Amino acid sequence: MTIILPRLPRGAGYAVRFVRNSDTQRAGTGGALSPLNRSGDHFAIEVDVGALGAACGRELLVDIARGMGERLRVPLPERGVEKGAPGTPRVKGADQAGTSLDLDGFNPQYPIRKGWFFTVVTPDGPTAHLVAETVIADAAGEATVTFWPALWLEPADNDLIVLIDPYIEGLVVEDGDQTSGLSRSVATDSFVVEEG
C-alpha cells in the first residue's frame, strides 16, 4: 500500500537530490574523465517541515514511521511553475528505453518545458524525471520528450504521464529526529524519501 503524504505547510522546505548509480572513472595517470553510465539513476527528496500543530504533527510522524517499510508518495516541488492544461499524456508504444519517450494525449501545441518534473506511472511503479529539452506537442498532441535520468523501469503502451503535481514514491531512508511531548506542537527534523 502506498502512503500519500498530505500537502505540507507553505513553509515546508524541500531539497531534491540526484542519486547516481553511475560513476566517473578517473585515469590513474591524469587523463580525461570517463563517464560510467549505468541504469538506475534516480531521485530522493529531503523534506523539512519544522514545528507543526499537535494533530497534524502526529499524523506526519505516523506517515514517516510507516514510510520506512511501506512506499511513501511525496509531491515534487515546482513552486511558481504554471503548466496550464497539458491534456492526458500517455506513453505511445511499448519497448521504449533510454532518455526519451514518445508520448501522446497532449493538447495540441502544448509546450513541455526544460526543467519540469514529470512522473511515469509504470506497471512496476512510478519513476520521476526532469525534462531535458523544451518540446512542443504537434497538432495531434504527440511529442518526443527527452529527460534525465534514463528510464530504469520499462513503461508499457498507454502508461500515464503525470505532469501536473508530479511526485516521487519510495521509502524513508533518513527519518531525522521527531519530538513531541506535552507541548502543543510536534517538531521533526528533515526526513528523506528515496525512489527505488
Work out the mean pLDDT of the chain and round it to a whole number. 88
Asked if 47 contacts 74 with a C-beta cutoff of 8 angstroms, the reply is yes
Give the whole-angstrom CA distance, residue 79 versus residue 74. 15
Q: How many CB atoms lie within 10 A of CB 128?
A: 23
**pLDDT for 5-27, tens place per residue?**
876 767 778 899 999 887 788 87
CA within 13 Å, CB half, 151 = 21
Lowest mean pLDDT among 18-27, 53-62, 162-171, 179-188: 179-188
Q: Flag whether pLDDT at 106 surpasses 90.
A: yes
- pLDDT confidence band for 149 (50 / 70 / 90): very high
Q: How confident is the model at residue 69 (pLDDT cuts 50, 70, 90)?
A: very high
| Each residue's pLDDT tens digit, 71-87 | 999 999 888 899 999 99
What are the pLDDT digits (tens) for 22-64? Answer: 778 887 777 788 877 777 899 999 998 877 776 677 788 888 8
Per-residue pLDDT, 187:
63
The whole-number average pLDDT for the span 107-128 is 97
Nearest of 24, 45, 71, 55 to residue 169 by alpha carbon? 71
pTM assigned to the model? 0.87
What is the pLDDT at residue 181?
56
125-131 sheet: strands from edge to edge: 87-91, 100-106, 143-148, 125-131, 117-122, 161-162
Q: Residue 180's pLDDT band (boundaries 50, 70, 90)?
A: low
